[in-house]
Amino acid sequence: SVVYPPRIMAKSKSIYSCTECGATSPKWQGQCPGCAEWNTLVESVAEKATGHRYESLAPVARLRNLSEIEASETERIPTGIAEFDRALGGGLVPGGVVLIGGDPGIGKSTLLQQALSLLSSACKVLYVSGEESGEQIALRARRLGLDSHALQLMAEINLERILATLQGEKPQVAVIDSIQTLWSDQLSSAPGSVAQVRECAAQLTRLAKQTGITVILVGHVTKEGALAGPRVLEHIVDTVLYFEGDTHSSFRLVRAFKNRFGAVNELGVFAMTDKGLKGVNNPSALFLSQHGQDVAGSCVMVTQEGTRPLLVEIQALVDSAHGNPRRLTVGLEAQRLAMLLAVLHRHAGIVCFDQDVFVNAVGGVKITEPAADLAVLLSITSSLKNKALPSKLVVFGEVGLAGEIRPAPRGQERLKEAAKLGFTRAVIPEANRPKQPIAGMEVIAVKRVEEAVARIREIE
Ligand code: TYD
Ligand code: MG
């Protein structure tokens, strides 16, 4: 029976504040009284103005030189799941708040239950579930063959009770599954609304900082908007990880989007098996589809995800359009495709006006880096001409609006990884040309789009 002090005593009033301009209103309104935007008012807890005006205060903060402050490398709590630790930048940090987002059913609860079970042998952990009952979680633990006798569970959705328990029990690591199911007494909005999600995350973050408890929040990403997406939390938490992957394939990627304690874009790669998520140590060849022979419209690129290069096959299908030509991408940016088609037309004279163009990154991987440009262009030209690109070819490079090919970071590493996997030719930006030749790899360095297209034609 611990009472969590701050706000549980009296119900404070809520106000409505605009997410665009910050204006407040005592009632909800459809239109913001400040900036006249529609549907931007969200409920939040009214803070009473307290204390003194600053003019009457003596300076309170003792100022220090940065050099006086002892900064030791943050200690880490490794979860024991190597790929998860990699995405986290080496492990959990005491007092750190991690948000794990992803589509429903992608494996968030599975991964966290596995991680907590491993952690529970060494430290005190608590799993707070607002979605599944204790029985369901116990059943999953049994199916996964986890040793969970030290894993403590709490089925609860009331924020104040969760805070009180965390403060009383002081676990080292707590998982909240999920943030969208929590609700605070202080707000009248429904669980999952922007106001509730933000308030609950802010309170949990405050507690984490005060007590040093590591808090892991699970957040669902939904497109319908019924539940507030975890995007509103990104600035509150220390680390944001997102699950990616095609729910139809067994591979799952956990990518760091923001990390105050490590590198971003670091990637953990898992396979979903009947015994839960298993790390994939050597994932570089995972996203190549296994063709018996070379096919038109397929181009392999090397993408650099965090500290590790991955080979990903880009597939394009160009087909004559009926009516409005469609441009569709899966795993790549749609806007960028439109831009690349314009560059292809203007600088290489290749026209797709009357064609549908579909581009796909194999295996459900999402590629955000512009180094994919050249591979997208070459897969499109290959599909358009219905002619396979030369075999054992890899490609990377960013394409500019002027038709120039710009370098990609860490070109050497990309080339070495491709050579290791048996690729023998690479079309790359001139600026990435390796100083020393790479054994078994013929490097074709190009400066412009038209040059790349012409050089490919020569090899054919
Ligand atoms: P879950 O972790 O419950 O997803 P989330 O918490 O992100 O909503 O994962 C659910 C999916 O994973 C479900 O469709 C079944 C599959 N799964 C396996 O294939 N193997 C397993 O061992 C487990 C536990 C789940
Ligand atoms: Mg779940």
Q: How far is CA 74 from the centre of its chain?
A: 23
144 lines ligand 1 (CB under 6 A): yes
Distance 114 CA to ligand 2 centre (A): 13
| Residue 235 confidence (pLDDT) | 87
Which residue has the CA at smallest separation from atom 8 of ligand 1?
105
| Residue 11 confidence (pLDDT) | 53
User: Residues 314-342: what's their mean pLDDT?
Assistant: 93
CA 174/CA 224 separation, integer angstroms = 29
Above 80 in pLDDT, residue 421? yes
Above 70 in pLDDT, residue 332? yes
Neighbours of 329 (CB within 10 A): 20
* Ligand 1 atom at shortest distance from the alpha carbon of 108: 7
pTM: 0.79
292 compared with 383, residue with greater pLDDT: 383
Closest of 96, 47, 124 to residue 207, by C-alpha = 96
- CA 426 → CA 137, 289, 353, 391, 458, distances in Å? 49, 19, 29, 11, 14
Q: Note the helical H segments in 156-226.
A: 159-169, 194-211
Strand-pair category, 327-330 with 239-244: unpaired
| Residue 20 confidence (pLDDT) | 79
The overall average pLDDT reported for the chain is: 88
| Residue 220 confidence (pLDDT) | 85
Strand partners, 303: 310
- pLDDT confidence band for 10 (50 / 70 / 90): very low
CA 310/CA 421 separation, integer angstroms = 11
Closest of 164, 365, 171, 388 to residue 283, by C-alpha = 365
Q: What percent of the chain has pLDDT over 90?
A: 58
Q: Are 108 and 175 in contact (CB under 8 A)?
A: no
| Residue 338 confidence (pLDDT) | 94
Q: Which of 124-133, 229-238, 329-338, 365-374 has the lowest mean pLDDT?
A: 229-238
Q: Which of 183-192, 246-255, 288-297 has the lowest mean pLDDT?
A: 288-297
Contacts of 244 (CB under 8 A, 6+ apart): 102, 252, 253, 254, 255, 364, 365, 366
Q: How far is CA 92 from the centre of its chain?
A: 17
Distance 394 CA to ligand 1 centre (A): 35
Q: For residue range 68-81, list pLDDT tens digits in order.
A: 777 666 789 999 99
Indicate which ligand has the atom closest to the C-alpha of 248. 1
For helices 159-169 and 194-211, the axis angle rounded to 10 degrees is 10
| Residue 228 confidence (pLDDT) | 57
User: Residues 3-8: what's their mean pLDDT?
Assistant: 49
Q: For residue range 212-250, list pLDDT tens digits in order.
A: 999 999 998 866 544 556 677 888 999 999 888 777 778
Q: Are 189 and 196 in contact (CB under 8 A)?
A: yes
What values do phi and psi take at 54, rounded to 5? -65, -25
Distance 107 CA to ligand 2 centre (A): 7
| Residue 324 confidence (pLDDT) | 92
288 compared with 331, residue with greater pLDDT: 331
Strand-pair category, 239-244 with 442-446: unpaired
N-terminal to C-terminal alpha carbon distance within the chain: 76
8 compared with 183, residue with greater pLDDT: 183
- pLDDT confidence band for 1 (50 / 70 / 90): very low
- pLDDT confidence band for 149 (50 / 70 / 90): confident
| Residue 194 confidence (pLDDT) | 83
Q: Which of 50-54, 145-149, 150-154, 189-193 has the highest average model confidence (pLDDT)? A: 150-154
Above 80 in pLDDT, residue 282? no
Strand partners, 287: 312
**Given ligand 1 and candidates 110, 218, 278, which is best to mutate, with the most ligand atoms within 8 Å of its CB?**
110
* Ligand 1 atom at shortest distance from the alpha carbon of 113: 2
Q: Are 73 and 54 in contact (CB under 8 A)?
A: no
Distance 375 CA to ligand 1 centre (A): 34
* Ligand 1 atom at shortest distance from the alpha carbon of 275: 22
Q: What percent of the chain has pLDDT over 70?
A: 93
Q: Which of 56-70, 89-103, 230-244 has the highest average model confidence (pLDDT)? A: 89-103
Q: Note the helical H segments in 2-145.
A: 5-8, 82-88, 108-120, 134-144
